[in-house]
Chains A and B, each alone.
Chain A
């Protein structure tokens, strides 16, 4: 069946064919162009990668709704939403720099690989000039790095890990959402005031970059308030049953349970903890308490009445009284019939901020956009004055401490704003303990 004819002649032939094959790619070089995906037609394309499946799917779908609304407003349809209250008036509802905004969407599946594949196809196939979205810090960090390499702007959606603007920060990426450090800084004094100064806490932590930094921040701040940690247990992101992780909690001597879980994870772990009867127990002579450092409306809805009385922090809440919040809630409510979540607000604001930066820079070139956003101060988007710090591309604004509503008036009235922690209280140096080791690098315009 085989003919073994490895003669000198055939070897030479084979070698030449293989050599030619290997040499072939070297004739290709990238075409000179100012920057990646320079929109030359009448339209400009944004890429929105959100989780439509996996533990963060609820957040993802809400983000997608917000993105669609933002694009509508940018193109001058609808009531204009936050464009009316935004402090920068560069946008006028005629698209971005006269180009109509289009968008493509993709499912991240809450997995880094799938998210990068989706973002790559948007950049390479659909010509997206900006990518936004992501509901997991793991995904956000991965896609941010991809956008840096490809030379497009990444406007982070829901990502709360310190690393996104810490050790993994990138020049082409910007984060409007707050982070784990800010959550812990805002929560710690409130928790001490609520539950006293000597408490032992047990943590369950989602096992990826967000969980790790959240757990580290909570530990640091709570120990600063005189609490002590019993243990920190890591749980896989894909888990849905937490009973085996919850069972040892009560016998561990801890009297507070901190759930560093988000989305579907938190809904399941909190519900199971309540079913275990933890909230009715007395430990060390004190009432057993549960804390969820990062809470969203969608999680509160998922957890139902179990959320009552649970403290946590939020980036934004639809019940805030300022004009920006009101405009956004009205506009979103008219479109979809429900109040928006903090994920929706973040993604909406990020899209508007990008469009505004392009308009002010008068260019889609990522380097020009980066320049326009660095150190940019704005207001009117809810939660008061905000600044995009130049050193790490983190937005600094007030942080909300929220608490599950004990007596909700309606099905959306699930969280009460307990306190608004001013931005000075949650401020930190770019090279402080939880954020050091990163390097923004230089802006990359791509091709």
Chain B
């Protein structure tokens, strides 16, 4: 079914099930327990994880398959966000026009930037993409301020024309919606001492991310995907066989740019504000981290990486000293202070430090990313007697 092998279909089913059940799975701790701090099952974070998973999966089509490391993909995210907000301002608060435009613009920008950048490979390609992205950032930040509102960020306002939506009585801007279904509509269920939040916006992101995952799966399994892998293993040899590899590269670049545009559009659709920070080089670096952390060239890796980084950013950054003190309050006062002092640099505003340590650990000990970690654990579990069939099993599962 769906043009997939039985195994891939199973894989897709599992991903779909996990996506749909995320609001339950990400809320493992009861509200009353001290561990509730670590729950991630609230709409904003789930939306972000789904959106950045789309971004990372798209990035992986370029980086994972062809090995071309782009440092400029945040530019497409930013373009997508601005496009969506402008659709909100001009057309309607329905998210569809915005998302369609963001994908289109992401593709167009990727075509233009890719057309120039792909004339070089390796580090030169990375630097070219970085330069283009930084140009886009600076344009958005200080040159095109009428279009982007600079540092302050662009948001829908009451005075916007919005020709398809009648202006709402009472003077409030409508929330972004999908044919009337508000993206902030949340159905809360209280059960087992937990509050599960089923949010419309999350399910829109989730369904789109599953579709995008499916698309990536098809690309990975297609002859086109094979060609991209050939570029990664030896582009020179490929060229010597008489094949022109550049159209393939450009296609891969445009596809990943469209993924990034879609992610940007969704970000703006879930939270109608677009700022230039989204286009900064740190944002481009983040998606590289996500991909490497999860496992480059694997299908599920970037999704895991996106989830991990967004989790750290949102959960660890909120642990402050008051919370730490409450955790260690059972200890004697002096010991409590010592414990808090030790952990303090790694949480709150220091969450980057924890992530850095984790990242180093993964790169040094698990070059294949978190996916490789999962596989190693899996192999421990069901070690076949005398079985050194690991390499082939690894290859199959890694994709």
- Bound Cα distance A163, B320 (Å): 32
Tell me whether A30 is interfacial, beta carbon within 8 Å.
yes
Q: Give the residues in chain B near A113, CB-CB below 8 Å.
A: 153, 273, 275, 277-278
Number of A-B residue pairs having CB atoms within 8 Å of each other in the complex: 159
Q: Please tell me if B349 contacts chain A, counting CB pairs below 8 Å.
A: yes
Stretch at the interface among B179-187, B247-255, B360-368, B381-389: B179-187
A105 and B188 contacting across the interface, CB-CB below 8 Å: no
Q: Is the CB of A111 within 8 A of B200?
A: no
**Interface residues in B195-210 (C-beta closer than 8 Å to A):** 197-200, 203-204, 207, 210
Q: Are B188 and A31 in contact (CB under 8 A)?
A: yes
State which of A6, A53, A111 has its C-beta within 8 Å of the C-beta of B3. Answer: A6
CA separation between A406 and B107, bound complex, in Å? 59
Q: Given A2-B3, A18-B211, A442-B170, is A29 in contact with B278 using a C-beta cutoff of 8 Å?
A: no
Whether B226 contacts A145 by the Cβ 8 Å rule is no
Give bound CA distance, A138 to B278, whole Å.
15
Partner of A124, one of B43, B185, B207, B278: B43
Residue of A30, A116, A208, A236 touching B152 (CB-CB under 8 A): A208
CB contact under 8 A between A207 and B151, given known A113-B275, A442-B171: yes
Residues of chain B contacted by A120 (CB below 8 angstroms): 44, 271
Complex: A107 Cα to B313 Cα, angstroms: 10
Check A22 against B207 for contact (C-beta < 8 Å). yes
Which residues, 134 to 184 on B, are CB-close (under 8 Å) to A?
141-142, 150-153, 155, 157-159, 170-173, 175, 178, 181-182, 184
Is B235 interfacial (CB 8 A cutoff)? no
- Choose, from A93-101, A146-154, A290-298, the stretch at the interface: A146-154
Q: How far is the CB of A18 from chain B (nearest CB, A)?
A: 7
Q: Please state if B207 and A209 are interface contacts (CB–CB under 8 Å).
A: no
Q: How far is the CB of B195 from chain A (nearest CB, A)?
A: 9
Report the minimal beta-carbon distance from B43 to chain A, rounded to whole angstroms: 5
Q: How far is the CB of A58 from chain B (nearest CB, A)?
A: 13
Complex formed: what's the CA distance from A385 to B48 in Å?
Answer: 45
A residues lining the B interface (CB < 8 Å): 1-6, 10, 13-14, 18, 21-22, 24-26, 28-31, 52-53, 68, 103-107, 111-114, 116-118, 120-121, 124-125, 137-138, 141-142, 145-146, 148-150, 163, 168, 207-209, 234, 236-237, 437, 439-442, 444, 447
Chain B 237-277 residues near chain A, CB threshold 8 A: 271, 273, 275, 277
Inter-subunit contact B200/A28 (CB<8 Å)? yes
Q: Please give, as numbers and ranges, the residues of chain A lying within 8 Å of B182 by CB-CB distance.
A: 30
> Is the pair A28, B187 in contact by a Cβ cutoff of 8 Å?
yes
B142, A236: Cβ atoms under 8 Å? yes
Q: CA separation between A53 and B352, bound complex, in Å?
A: 12
CB-defined contacts of B210 to chain A, threshold 8 Å: 21
Q: Which residues of A contact B348 (CB under 8 A)?
A: 52, 105, 107
Chain B: interface residue count, which band?
35 or more
Question: Which of B110-118, B119-127, B217-225, B333-341 contacts the other chain?
Answer: B217-225
Question: In the complex, A210 Cα to B116 Cα: how many Å?
Answer: 38
Complex: A360 Cα to B94 Cα, angstroms: 40
Residue B39, interface by CB 8 Å: yes
B171–A439 contact, CB under 8 A?
Answer: yes
Closest 5 CB pairs of A and B: A208-B151, A441-B171, A25-B203, A120-B44, A125-B42
Question: Does A28 contact B171, Cβ atoms closer than 8 Å?
Answer: no
Residue of B nearest to A9 (CB): B1
- Tell me, yes or no, whether B2 is within 8 Å of chain A by CB: yes
Between A and B, 13 residue pairs with Cβ closer than 8 Å are: A1-B223, A2-B223, A106-B318, A117-B48, A124-B197, A125-B39, A138-B275, A141-B153, A142-B273, A149-B175, A237-B151, A439-B159, A441-B172
B212 interface residue per 8 A CB criterion: no
- Establish whether residues B3 and A121, one from each chain, have CB atoms under 8 Å apart when the complex forms: no
Check B221 against A1 for contact (C-beta < 8 Å): yes
Please judge, given known A-B contacts A437-B159, A439-B171, whether A207 and B142 are in contact too, CB under 8 Å.
Answer: yes
A33: min CB distance to chain B, Å: 9
In the complex, what's the smallest C-beta–C-beta distance from A369 to chain B, in angstroms?
A: 17
- Are B155 and A142 closer than 8 Å at their CB atoms? yes
CA distance in complex: A348, B366 (Å): 48
Q: Complex Cα distance A3/B20, Å?
A: 27
The residues of B that contact A207 with a CB separation of less than 8 Å are 141-142, 150-151
Q: Is the CB of A25 within 8 A of B320?
A: no
- Beyond A113-B153, A440-B171: 19 further Cβ-contacts under 8 Å? A1-B226, A2-B221, A10-B1, A22-B207, A104-B318, A106-B317, A107-B349, A124-B43, A124-B186, A124-B197, A125-B45, A138-B151, A142-B273, A148-B172, A149-B175, A168-B157, A207-B150, A237-B151, A441-B172
- Choice from B150, B198, B211, B273 contacting A28 with Cβ under 8 Å: B198
* CA gap between A447 and B182 in the complex, in Å: 12
Q: B181 touches which one: A26, A103, A104, A121 (CB < 8 A)?
A: A26
Smallest beta-carbon distance A131→chain B, Å:
14
A262: shortest Cβ distance to chain B, in Å? 13
**Nearest residue, chain B, Cβ from A114:** B277
- Say yes or no: is B314 at the interface (Cβ < 8 Å to chain A): yes
Q: How far is the CB of B21 from chain A (nearest CB, A)?
A: 12
Q: How far is the CA of A18 from the CA of B1 in the complex (A)?
A: 13
* Chain A contacts for B2, CB-based, 8 A: 10, 13-14
The CA-CA distance from A441 to B207 in the complex, in Å, is 34
For the complex, give the distance between the alpha carbons of A104 and B319 in Å: 9
Q: Is the CB of B152 within 8 A of A137?
A: yes
Shortest C-beta distance, B286 to chain A (Å), equals: 12
* A21: chain B residues within 8 A (beta carbon): 207, 210-211
A107 pairs with B155, CB closer than 8 A: no
List chain B residues, Cβ under 8 A from A24.
Answer: 20, 203, 207
Specify the chain A residue showing the minimal Cβ separation from B171.
A441
Which residues of B have CB within 8 Å of A68? 322
* Contact (Cβ within 8 A) A121 B203: no
Question: Given the complex, which residues of B lie within 8 Å of A163, measured CB to CB?
Answer: 152
Q: How far is the CA of A234 from the CA of B152 in the complex (A)?
A: 14
Q: Please, which residue of chain B has its CB at the minimum distance from the CB of A447?
A: B186
Contact A116 B172 (CB under 8 A): no
A145 neighbours in B (Cβ, 8 Å): 155, 273
What is the chain A residue whose CB lies nearest that of B43?
Answer: A124
